[in-house]
Structure 1
Amino acid sequence: MQPTEMTVGDLTKRLSACDPASPLRLAMNPFFPMEHRLERVVEATDRAERPVVYPAESRNADTQPGHLPPEVAVALAWQAPVQAPPRRPRRAARPAGGQ
Protein backbone atom coordinates (compact mmCIF):
# COMPACT_ATOMS: atom_id res chain seq x y z
CA MET A 1 0.00 0.00 0.00
CA GLN A 2 1.43 3.34 -1.05
CA PRO A 3 1.27 6.22 1.45
CA THR A 4 -1.31 8.86 0.62
CA GLU A 5 -0.05 12.28 -0.30
CA MET A 6 -1.67 15.59 0.49
CA THR A 7 -2.77 17.42 -2.64
CA VAL A 8 -2.72 21.15 -3.34
CA GLY A 9 -6.53 21.03 -2.95
CA ASP A 10 -6.23 19.35 0.47
CA LEU A 11 -3.71 21.95 1.62
CA THR A 12 -5.77 24.83 0.24
CA LYS A 13 -8.86 23.58 2.06
CA ARG A 14 -6.99 23.23 5.36
CA LEU A 15 -5.23 26.58 5.01
CA SER A 16 -8.49 28.38 4.18
CA ALA A 17 -9.57 27.80 7.81
CA CYS A 18 -6.42 29.58 9.11
CA ASP A 19 -5.68 33.26 9.61
CA PRO A 20 -4.25 34.41 6.25
CA ALA A 21 -1.81 36.75 8.02
CA SER A 22 -0.19 33.89 9.96
CA PRO A 23 3.37 32.87 8.99
CA LEU A 24 3.63 29.51 7.25
CA ARG A 25 6.30 27.16 8.58
CA LEU A 26 7.24 23.62 7.68
CA ALA A 27 7.71 21.00 10.41
CA MET A 28 10.56 18.63 9.55
CA ASN A 29 12.18 15.45 10.88
CA PRO A 30 10.12 13.59 13.50
CA PHE A 31 13.30 12.34 15.22
CA PHE A 32 14.81 15.82 15.64
CA PRO A 33 11.81 18.17 15.14
CA MET A 34 12.77 21.50 13.59
CA GLU A 35 10.79 24.27 11.93
CA HIS A 36 11.63 25.95 8.62
CA ARG A 37 10.43 29.17 7.03
CA LEU A 38 8.96 28.83 3.56
CA GLU A 39 9.81 31.35 0.87
CA ARG A 40 8.91 29.92 -2.51
CA VAL A 41 6.62 27.48 -4.28
CA VAL A 42 7.95 25.66 -7.33
CA GLU A 43 5.89 23.59 -9.74
CA ALA A 44 7.54 20.69 -11.58
CA THR A 45 6.83 17.16 -12.80
CA ASP A 46 7.85 13.90 -11.19
CA ARG A 47 9.41 10.86 -12.90
CA ALA A 48 5.97 9.74 -14.06
CA GLU A 49 5.39 13.19 -15.63
CA ARG A 50 2.73 14.09 -13.04
CA PRO A 51 2.62 17.69 -11.79
CA VAL A 52 4.13 18.19 -8.34
CA VAL A 53 4.29 21.33 -6.17
CA TYR A 54 7.31 21.94 -3.91
CA PRO A 55 7.14 24.48 -1.06
CA ALA A 56 10.75 25.54 -0.56
CA GLU A 57 12.68 27.24 2.17
CA SER A 58 14.96 30.21 1.65
CA ARG A 59 18.71 29.95 1.16
CA ASN A 60 19.18 32.49 3.97
CA ALA A 61 20.78 31.33 7.20
CA ASP A 62 17.75 32.38 9.26
CA THR A 63 15.48 29.94 7.39
CA GLN A 64 15.53 27.52 10.28
CA PRO A 65 14.31 29.42 13.35
CA GLY A 66 14.93 26.50 15.69
CA HIS A 67 13.32 23.52 17.30
CA LEU A 68 9.68 22.77 16.66
CA PRO A 69 7.54 23.82 19.64
CA PRO A 70 6.85 20.71 21.77
CA GLU A 71 3.07 21.13 21.50
CA VAL A 72 3.36 20.93 17.69
CA ALA A 73 5.50 17.77 17.85
CA VAL A 74 2.90 16.25 20.21
CA ALA A 75 0.02 17.26 17.88
CA LEU A 76 1.87 15.59 14.98
CA ALA A 77 2.38 12.47 17.16
CA TRP A 78 6.14 12.83 16.72
CA GLN A 79 6.65 12.70 20.47
CA ALA A 80 4.59 11.83 23.51
CA PRO A 81 3.33 14.52 25.86
CA VAL A 82 5.92 15.11 28.55
CA GLN A 83 5.19 16.44 31.98
CA ALA A 84 7.76 17.81 34.37
CA PRO A 85 8.47 15.44 37.26
CA PRO A 86 6.76 16.34 40.52
CA ARG A 87 8.83 18.61 42.71
CA ARG A 88 9.75 17.53 46.19
CA PRO A 89 9.38 20.04 48.98
CA ARG A 90 12.66 21.79 49.66
CA ARG A 91 14.38 21.04 52.91
CA ALA A 92 15.44 23.91 55.10
CA ALA A 93 19.20 24.42 55.41
CA ARG A 94 18.88 25.04 59.14
CA PRO A 95 16.26 24.39 61.78
CA ALA A 96 13.41 26.82 62.22
CA GLY A 97 14.34 29.70 64.49
CA GLY A 98 17.60 30.46 62.63
CA GLN A 99 19.96 28.30 64.76
Structure 2
Amino acid sequence: MPHTEMTVGDLIDLLTACDRDLPVRLAMNPFFPMAHQVERVVQSVDETGQPVVYLAEGRETDAQLGHLPPEVAVALTWHGPVQAPPRRARRTAGGK
Protein backbone atom coordinates (compact mmCIF):
# COMPACT_ATOMS: atom_id res chain seq x y z
CA MET A 1 0.00 0.00 0.00
CA PRO A 2 1.58 3.33 -1.02
CA HIS A 3 2.10 6.00 1.62
CA THR A 4 0.00 9.11 1.04
CA GLU A 5 1.10 12.46 2.35
CA MET A 6 -1.13 14.72 4.40
CA THR A 7 -2.72 17.44 2.26
CA VAL A 8 -3.49 21.04 3.12
CA GLY A 9 -7.16 20.01 3.29
CA ASP A 10 -6.33 17.18 5.73
CA LEU A 11 -4.37 19.61 7.91
CA ILE A 12 -7.18 22.19 7.88
CA ASP A 13 -9.69 19.49 8.82
CA LEU A 14 -7.53 18.42 11.77
CA LEU A 15 -6.87 21.99 12.87
CA THR A 16 -10.56 22.98 12.85
CA ALA A 17 -11.03 20.82 15.96
CA CYS A 18 -8.42 22.92 17.81
CA ASP A 19 -8.71 26.24 19.63
CA ARG A 20 -7.77 28.95 17.09
CA ASP A 21 -5.79 30.91 19.70
CA LEU A 22 -3.35 28.10 20.57
CA PRO A 23 0.25 28.25 19.32
CA VAL A 24 1.33 25.77 16.63
CA ARG A 25 4.48 23.73 17.15
CA LEU A 26 6.30 21.10 15.13
CA ALA A 27 7.25 17.81 16.76
CA MET A 28 10.54 16.68 15.23
CA ASN A 29 12.82 13.61 15.34
CA PRO A 30 11.11 10.54 16.84
CA PHE A 31 14.40 9.24 18.29
CA PHE A 32 15.19 12.48 20.17
CA PRO A 33 11.84 14.31 20.17
CA MET A 34 12.03 18.09 20.21
CA ALA A 35 9.43 20.86 19.89
CA HIS A 36 9.90 23.75 17.43
CA GLN A 37 8.00 26.97 16.77
CA VAL A 38 6.32 27.36 13.38
CA GLU A 39 7.09 30.74 11.82
CA ARG A 40 6.09 30.58 8.17
CA VAL A 41 4.04 28.71 5.60
CA VAL A 42 5.46 28.66 2.07
CA GLN A 43 3.93 27.22 -1.09
CA SER A 44 6.49 26.03 -3.62
CA VAL A 45 7.45 22.97 -5.66
CA ASP A 46 9.52 19.98 -4.56
CA GLU A 47 12.48 18.41 -6.39
CA THR A 48 10.10 16.55 -8.73
CA GLY A 49 8.21 19.72 -9.68
CA GLN A 50 5.12 18.82 -7.63
CA PRO A 51 3.45 21.70 -5.78
CA VAL A 52 3.85 21.46 -1.98
CA VAL A 53 3.36 23.57 1.15
CA TYR A 54 6.21 23.84 3.67
CA LEU A 55 5.79 24.68 7.34
CA ALA A 56 9.00 26.41 8.41
CA GLU A 57 10.66 26.61 11.80
CA GLY A 58 11.53 30.07 13.05
CA ARG A 59 15.02 31.45 12.42
CA GLU A 60 15.49 32.76 15.95
CA THR A 61 17.89 30.86 18.19
CA ASP A 62 15.04 30.04 20.56
CA ALA A 63 12.79 28.53 17.84
CA GLN A 64 13.68 25.07 19.15
CA LEU A 65 11.71 25.03 22.36
CA GLY A 66 13.23 21.98 23.99
CA HIS A 67 12.24 18.39 24.54
CA LEU A 68 8.82 17.25 23.41
CA PRO A 69 6.62 16.37 26.41
CA PRO A 70 6.74 12.57 26.92
CA GLU A 71 2.95 12.26 26.62
CA VAL A 72 3.14 13.82 23.14
CA ALA A 73 5.85 11.37 22.03
CA VAL A 74 3.64 8.53 23.32
CA ALA A 75 0.55 9.94 21.55
CA LEU A 76 2.55 10.13 18.30
CA THR A 77 3.64 6.49 18.91
CA TRP A 78 7.27 7.58 18.75
CA HIS A 79 7.84 6.21 22.27
CA GLY A 80 6.01 3.60 24.28
CA PRO A 81 4.53 4.44 27.65
CA VAL A 82 7.20 4.18 30.32
CA GLN A 83 6.56 3.05 33.85
CA ALA A 84 8.95 3.42 36.75
CA PRO A 85 10.69 0.16 37.66
CA PRO A 86 9.34 -1.59 40.74
CA ARG A 87 10.97 -0.54 43.99
CA ARG A 88 12.98 -3.09 45.83
CA ALA A 89 13.63 -3.23 49.54
CA ARG A 90 16.49 -1.06 50.75
CA ARG A 91 19.47 -2.62 52.39
CA THR A 92 20.33 -1.61 55.91
CA ALA A 93 23.72 -0.38 57.04
CA GLY A 94 24.51 -3.86 58.36
CA GLY A 95 24.13 -5.31 54.85
CA LYS A 96 20.98 -7.30 55.59
Measured against the shorter chain, the TM-score band is 0.7 to 0.9
| In 1: Cα distance, 2:24 partner to 2:88 partner | 41
Alpha-carbon shift at residue 84 of structure 1 (Å): 1.5
Q: Residue 37 of structure 2 corresponds to which residue in structure 1?
A: 37
Find the structure with the greater CA-based Rg: 1
Q: Deviations over 1:48-89 (max 9, x none)?
A: 332100000111011001011000000111011001123346
Q: Residue 26 of structure 1 corresponds to which residue in structure 2?
A: 26
- How large is the RMSD of aligned CA atoms in angstroms? 1.7
Q: Which runs of 5+ in 1 are unaligned?
A: 94-99
Amino acid at match of 1:21: D
Matches within 5 A, 1:36-75: 36-75=36-75
Amino acid at match of 2:9: G
Size of the aligned set, in residue pairs, is 93
| In 1: Cα distance, 2:21 partner to 2:60 partner | 22
Amino acid at match of 1:10: D
TM-score (structure 1 length as normaliser):
0.83
Q: Identity, % of aligned pairs?
A: 67
TM-score (structure 2 length as normaliser):
0.86
